[in-house]
């Protein structure tokens, strides 16, 4: 790992602030996207709030001073949101150019595009739990890890299966997760009908995962018919139940995005636990323990607010406590000098 320079840290903070301003306004844009209109019916005129692109909607009442005020305020709000969206998009493009110049771009651009779209439409529904979560932890710590630890051809999205279909359906309406992925890249398709995995034409994959459900529960966790169906994966209950944190990550194209990830200590111990599973592929085991050990050192050196103390270890499962022995040693040569960047 290399520590980011002061200049890079300052730029990353600026990128985070602009991203959150854009995100807050973008949600207003989405809330106004279908609009309102006046509809004549039965000799009267009614204000209708449109709810989809097919111009379906719900009535807000007959024309009156009150509904005219609602319509005027809605139109003014839409114009403000659209105007700010244009300005903030220009600012984001400027920030992205500077991020690239300072070599801050880290995560694959496709991951940034997907998580940015999910942040707008389905905030808080998914956590990232695979290798790509390491981008969030390095951003939190102000370091860059070696690329070999971070390379991955898929992103793992963890949903809370206990909340069942309703949350996914509400947040991802009307097109589901696969519909949202196709808005990012139209080539995304489920690997097979009813699969938990989608892939695009470049072979990049998105996996929809949940923690194991009760044996008596046979509900398929999916946003809608024809969408991805979540796969149950042992061990994910620890990541699901861990406190969640958000970090702003810079994509390879320079554009920032937010990533929601589990407590870094739980993720670290989960990786160490994975490395000891007899059913884990041997090549993945070595990578799992390398990631766990480097992350443990990062936590000790750069994230002291997350101590591996008695209170924390007593709060996790026996399996994770046992895995702690694998990371309770310094990772050799983990931290080095500053990340190279441009001087201004």
Q: Kindly tell me if the per-residue pLDDT of 40 is higher than 80.
A: yes
Q: What is the pLDDT of residues 45-72, one digit of tens each?
A: 999 998 877 778 889 999 999 999 999 9
DSSP 71: H
pLDDT confidence of residue 301: 94
Tokens of 116: 């940015």
CA 264 remoteness from chain centre: 15
| Residue from 16, 66, 56, 64 nearest 35 by CA | 56
Q: What is the mean pLDDT of the chain?
A: 90
Q: CA–CA separation, 246 vs 266, rounded Å? A: 15
| Residue from 144, 129, 134 nearest 291 by CA | 134
User: So what CATH class is 107-137+151-236?
Assistant: alpha beta
Reported confidence tier of residue 282, pLDDT bands at 50, 70, 90:
confident
Q: What is the pLDDT of residues 220-261, one digit of tens each?
A: 677 777 889 999 999 999 999 999 999 999 999 999 999 999
DSSP 10: H
Assess contact for 191 and 148: CB atoms under 8 A: no
Cβ within 8 Å of residue 304, ≥6 positions away = none
| Residue from 164, 160, 136 nearest 150 by CA | 136
Q: Kindly tell me if the per-residue pLDDT of 340 is higher than 80.
A: no
Q: What is the pLDDT of residues 324-339, one digit of tens each?
A: 999 986 655 566 666 5
Question: Which H or E element spans position 150?
Answer: helix 147-150
Q: CA–CA separation, 110 vs 206, rounded Å? A: 10
Q: CA–CA separation, 314 vs 321, rounded Å? A: 8
Relative to beta strand 205-210, strand 256-262 is unpaired
Q: CA–CA separation, 283 vs 213, rounded Å? A: 28
Instruction: Please tell me the pTM assigned to this model.
Output: 0.88
Angle at 319 between CA 136 and CA 139, to 5 degrees: 10
Q: Kindly tell me if the per-residue pLDDT of 36 is higher than 60.
A: yes
Relative to beta strand 189-190, strand 197-199 is antiparallel
Highest mean pLDDT among 103-112, 118-127, 160-169, 280-289: 103-112
Q: CA–CA separation, 326 vs 242, rounded Å? A: 20
Of 55-59, 90-94, 125-129, 179-183, give the lowest mean pLDDT range: 55-59
Question: Which H or E element spans position 272?
Answer: helix 264-274
Q: Domain ranges for the chain, please list them.
A: 26-98, 107-137+151-236
Q: CA–CA separation, 25 vs 92, rounded Å? A: 13
Q: CA–CA separation, 49 vs 57, rounded Å? A: 5
229-237, Cβ contacts within 8 angstroms, sequence gap of 24 or more: 229/194, 229/195, 229/196, 230/159, 230/161, 230/196, 231/196, 231/197, 231/207, 232/161, 233/209, 235/270, 235/273, 235/274, 235/319, 236/129, 236/158, 236/209, 236/210, 236/211, 236/212, 237/211, 237/212
284-290, Cβ contacts within 8 angstroms, sequence gap of 24 or more: 287/149, 289/326, 290/149
């Amino acid at each position: 790992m290399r520590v980011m320079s002061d200049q890079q840290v300052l730029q990353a903070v600026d990128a985070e602030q602009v991203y959150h301003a854009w995100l807050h306004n973008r949600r207003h844009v989405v809330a106004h996207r279908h609009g309102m209109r006046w509809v004549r019916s039965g000799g009267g005129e009614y204000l209708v709030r449109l709810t989809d692109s097919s111009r379906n909607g719900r009535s807000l009442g007959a024309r009156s001073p009150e509904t005219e005020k609602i319509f005027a305020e809605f139109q003014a709000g839409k114009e403000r949101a659209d105007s700010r969206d244009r300005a903030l998009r220009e600012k984001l493009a400027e920030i992205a150019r500077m991020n690239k110049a300072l070599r801050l771009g880290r995560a694959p651009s496709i991951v940034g595009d997907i998580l940015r779209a999910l942040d707008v439409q389905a905030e808080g529904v998914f956590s990232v739990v695979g290798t790509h979560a390491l981008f969030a932890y390095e951003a939190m710590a102000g370091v860059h890890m070696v690329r070999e630890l971070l390379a991955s051809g898929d992103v793992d999205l963890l949903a809370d299966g206990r909340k069942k279909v309703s949350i996914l359906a509400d947040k991802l309406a009307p097109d589901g997760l696969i519909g949202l992925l196709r808005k990012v890249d139209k080539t995304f398709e489920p690997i097979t009908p009813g699969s938990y995995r989608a892939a695009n034409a470049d072979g990049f994959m998105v996996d929809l995962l949940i923690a194991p459900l009760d044996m008596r529960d046979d509900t398929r966790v999916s946003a809608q018919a024809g969408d991805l169906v979540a796969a149950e994966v042992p061990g994910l209950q620890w990541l699901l139940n861990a406190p969640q944190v958000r970090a702003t990550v810079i994509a390879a194209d320079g554009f920032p995005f937010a990533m929601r990830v589990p407590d870094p200590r739980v993720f670290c111990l989960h990786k160490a636990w994975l490395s000891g599973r007899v059913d884990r592929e041997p090549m993945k085991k070595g990578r799992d323990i390398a990631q766990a050990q480097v992350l443990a050192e990062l936590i000790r050196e750069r994230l002291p607010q997350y101590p591996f103390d008695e209170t924390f270890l007593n709060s996790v499962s026996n399996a994770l406590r046992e895995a702690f022995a694998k990371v309770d040693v310094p990772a050799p040569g983990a931290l080095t000098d500053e990340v190279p960047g441009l001087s201004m």
